[in-house]
Each structure stands twice: as structure tokens, then as C-alpha cells.
A and B are shown apart, each in its own frame.
Chain A
Amino acid sequence: MSGAYNFAYLDEQTKRMLRRALLKAVAIPGYQVPFASRDMPLPYGWGTGGIQVTAAVLGQDDVLKVIDQGADDTTNAVSIRAFFRKTAGVATTERTAEATVIQTRHRIPERPLHAGQILVFQVPIPEPLRFLEPRERETRRMHGLADYGAMHVKLYEDVARMGRITTSFAYPVKVAGRYVMDPSPIPKFDNPKLHDCPALQLFGAGREKRVYAIPPHTTVESLDFEDHPFEVQRWDRPCGLCGSTDSYLDEVVTDDQGGRLFCCSDTDFCRERRDRMDEGR
């Protein structure tokens, strides 16, 4: 652990500011709390919000897991894990079951989370209405009045033009019946995991300076229509490595002859299944 910096990099005043914001985020589920995001030693857009949230909650006894695209070994996950090993000296793991704090970009682990865990999402654009209305003053007003008509119109235009809702990731949700929230760019496959989750879910957007939260066991509904209910991605084949039929699959191009391999994006989930298959043999 390097001596020049405080535990987990951030100074205590910054942590207090973040902690106060996180408490309000939990008390108002799905509402984006502005916070005084700091310049971090990693680039904006690469997880500065997630890193600040993780630094604000992390303690010496925590076991940290960091994933990007569901994988522990993607370069940015490796880099963020190394950052906290160096600045906080905490234990790290690749095993979802063993982690107490999991920082993620773009996925929710396949293995159900438990109450002792905190899931920290890295968020690029926290405002679900941003692509309908670029002005913050306007989107704030819309949230204040729960004026979400424009969002339904946008989704319905999809249905009218394409016969389905074409949003496949960062699919908007309504939290505890009040705020419409961006779940970060997770595939909509992961949306059902947000609902009634036993773990606390925290979201950090560094560049946009917002944090928000879903407390455990909170109702989270993906926006849809009676005649076009929300549905998740599915694949016509199982994982080529572990045989799972209910996990999110990556498509890996294996040659230039059109060869493809479909395998779990959650590398720990896939490994665990393969280990069990080996034991069974």
C-alpha cells in the first residue's frame, strides 16, 4: 500500500461527501443525487464514478471483485482491481460468492447475489431521459413531476415502426413505482436481476457527477406495454464451454470462415460450472 495517499485513495472529506450523497440515494430509490465528483487518476468514462463509490464504502475487511463485460480478466477490470489492491490493500477475488463488494461495468453476475454484498455499477450517462431531452434543467423537471410520457412515446414509436422495442441495453426501469432510472449499459437480459435483489445496488457516474441506488428487495420494473411485454435476449444454443442454457452469451469469432463460439460472458459463473463438471467426472 502506498503511503502518500489515504486508505482507498480518496481523502476523508471526499468520502464523507460521497457517503452523505449515498445515504440520500438509498432513501430516494432511483433518484440521481448530484455529488462533487473529483478528478480521479483514471480517465472519465472508465469507471471514475464506480471507483469513487467503491472507495467511499470499502473497508479493510472487504473482499473486492471487479468485472467488465462480466469478465474478471478484461483490461479495465484488471486495472481497477490493481488500483484498489495498491491504494487500500484489500483482498480481491474473482469468485462472485466470496466478494463483499463487486464493482461492475455492463453486467450483473449470473450467480444470485446475497444480502452481505454491495454491487457497484459504473455509469456513463445516468439520465435515462438524456437522449430524449439533452437539457438537464428540463430532465430534472420531468423527474420532479414524474412526467415520463416522452419515454413511453419513444418506446412505443419503436413498437410502431419496428414491431418491437429495439433497446437492448441500458433499458429503462421504474424503481419503487416512482423514478425512471437508467440501469447503466447492462444488457436487458440482466434487468430482472435488479428486482427484489437481496444485495444493495449502488450506481456511480463520475463525469456526470451523480450517484443513485436501489435498496435491497425493491420493486424494479422494466418499462413495457401490455401488448408488448418486456422480454430478454435468448440464444438458440448453450454455452460452448460449460453448456449453460440460461446465461448471457458472448459471441467469439474463432476463424475467418464464419466460425463462431458462444460462451458465458460471466467468466466466474462459467468456470464454476466447468469445475463442477470436472468433479462429477
Chain B
Amino acid sequence: MYVAVKGGERAIRNAHRWLAEERRGDPDLPELDPAQLREQLALGCDRVMNEGSLYDPDLAALALKQARGDTVEAAFLLRAFRTTLPRLLSSVPVETAGMRVTRRVSATFKDIPGGQILGPTFDYTHRLLDETLGGTDAEIAPAAVAEQPVDPVVPRVLDILDADGMIQPEPAAAEGEPTDLTREPLLFPVGRDAWLQNLARGDEGFVFALGYSTQRGFGSTHPFVGELRVGTVDLVVEPEELGFPIVIGEVELTECEMVNQFLGSKTEPPQFTRGYGLVFGHQERKAMGMALVDRALRNAADGQEQRGPAMDQEFVLYHSDNVQASGFVEHLKLPHYVDFQGELETIRRMREAAAREEGGE
């Protein structure tokens, strides 16, 4: 007699053991220490922190190791851990003007107060494979130390434009706690705080591609990089019972402010507008993509004609999260035979009916 496939539990256990074996790879090679990933694959860890929505380079490195280098899977691991953490308090807004910058460039001015600082960038490297990295312990020539240290406070380029009234002023921050999408469902239309959080957690590829699409006519942005800066900022909290602010640590951030032309309206003179991106770690593509999409969403919220998917709130915000997307796409691997059977039955009956009709003619 036919016996249906059984033993799910044992099969799952064994599959997981096999996965662990594959993760380790050739046992004759030394095992990776997460600290090595944190230091030497730092940009990968940064991506995991952004999409995992948790700033913890050590855990991001561990997740990246556990996920065998799959950044989306690693972000998922971090999210599932993050969701169990208590929410103790919110920090005060970080002050990026006080950032200890390691990199800071502006495309809108040749020189700027504080100077253009290239920092550790891939820009201008020739993408030639470097065979000297193929071994271990390659010699590296240390970078020269500048004769003049970077100013402790490097003013933001857009604040300079702002002082001239050339850029649309930012609306004052709303009162009270900002929206937190991990504690509230997304309800439309959403405010800018919610969409910025959504984009910061969003898939880098998706956000970047949407930003790209706005440059190609599917949107109405004509952007310049007002400023892109990378560095560390203090994280400050002000517990109610203390009554004064204290620094609890520092985080590395990448901030991008895009400048866009605005020809003016009945009520406003021609000026520039901005798009904003802020992400954990050193993630320039993500910050720039975010800034482009932010502008596109603001244009839509301001009532401009919708000219592409990047201007469509529901399209952007419902599809940016790769943990949700990968779960739902991959769930197609689960058994669906009950529904498939229903479709089979429907199609068979329709074919029978069609055959009967043909026979009758």
C-alpha cells in the first residue's frame, strides 16, 4: 500500500547538520573568526546592520558568518534578534554637523569650509584585481597623516545654502516620538519620518535602483550631491529621571544631502530642495539612493504629477524590505499541492466541458 512521505522532523534536523558542514567548508583551512569579518569585510557588515536595523558590528559579523556570506539572510538573523530586545529609550536626534568626519565631499562647490576630504574611498581606484591580496599578510604602505588635522566641527554644506535662503527650509521636527515602523503598522499616507526609516532599513539594491530610475525620467529629480559625509557621531540620551544629556556611545554614519532644482510655485520663489539619506556605517550607494527616493516621495507628497514608481508611496514602501520580500517569494517553495489540486480540478472540468461542446457540434 502507498505510504505518504513521513519523517519531516528528522529530515529537517539532518538538513541543518549538512548546512553547518557546508558553512565550515574545507576543514583543512582555518575557520573564520567573526572579528576578522568585522575588520576585513566591514562594508558587508555595514549592509547587514542597515537592513537588519541594528547597530552592532560584532553581531553583524557573526550573522554574516552564520549566513555563509548571504547578506539578506544575515540581516534576517539580526532582525529576529532585534525584535526580542527591550526598548529602553530614544536618543536625542544625532547632530551630524558635529560628525568626526573621515570622508566628506561636495559636488556643488569647488571648495567648502572644512575642505573636501576624500577619505578611504574606492572612487578613483582602477578596478584591477590586486594579486598581492591573494596571499596572507600582504605588506601595506600606511597612508600619510595630514599635516593639519580635520576641523572638529565641519559645517554642513546645505546649511551654507540655507543661510542664503537658496534652499527650501526644512519643516520643524514634529512634536513627540517619531514613528517607529517596528512598533506600528505602515498606514497610508505615511509621514516622512516613517518613509525615511523604511528606506534606511530597505534593501540596498531596491532603493538604489529606484534612485537610479529617477535619474532616467521615471521621476522628476535633477540632483546634485550637496554633500556626502562619513564619520562617527555621539549617541546622546536624556533620561527623564536624570534631566540632562549623557553620551552612551558613538556610531559610524553615512549622510547624503542631495540638492534639486525647484522652479517655484504660486506661493514659493524658485529655490533648491533637498533629498536626505542617512544610514549606518560606510554605505555611500545606499545613502545616495535613499536621498534620491526621499526627494521623489516628497515631490509626490507635494502634489507633483507622479512620473514613476519611485514617486509612488505604496509601491516603494511596501516593497523595499528584503526580509519581507525574500520570505514571501521564497514561501513559494512550501507545499501548495492542495491549491494546485483545486486548480487541476477546475482546469479538467473546463476541458471536459470544452470537449463536450466540440463533440456536440
Contacts and interface: CB of A to CB of B under 8 A. Distances in A.
Dominant SS among interface residues on chain A: loop
Interface stretch (A33-41, A192-200, A214-222): A33-41
B79 to A, nearest CB: 4
B19 interface: no
Interface stretch (A57-65, A143-151, A250-258): A250-258
B84 A36 contact: no
Interface stretch (A23-31, A112-120, A172-180, A182-190): A182-190
Contacts of B327: 43-46, 48, 207
A76 B332 CA distance: 12
A124 B334 CA distance: 12
A135 interface: yes
A95 interface: no
Nearest to B346: A168
A5 B85 CA distance: 10
Given A48-B327, A187-B339, A265-B338, A36 B184 contact: yes
A144 to B, nearest CB: 14
Nearest to B76: A43
A52 to B, nearest CB: 11
Q: Is the interface of B mostly helix, strand, loop or mixed?
A: helix
Contacts of B12: 75, 78-79
A170 B343 CA distance: 11
A3 to B, nearest CB: 13
A136 interface: yes
A185 B339 contact: yes
Nearest to A9: B84
A79 to B, nearest CB: 6
B314 A187 contact: no
| Central interface residue in A48, A162, A168, A249, by most chain B CB within 10 Å | A168
A188 B84 contact: no
Interface of A: 5, 9, 11, 34-41, 43-46, 48, 68-71, 73-79, 82, 105-107, 124, 134-137, 162-164, 166, 168-170, 185-189, 207, 209-210, 233, 235, 240-241, 248-252, 254, 261, 263, 265, 267
Interface of B: 1-2, 4-9, 11-12, 76, 79-80, 82-84, 86, 182-189, 314, 318, 323-324, 326-331, 334-339, 341-346, 349-350, 353
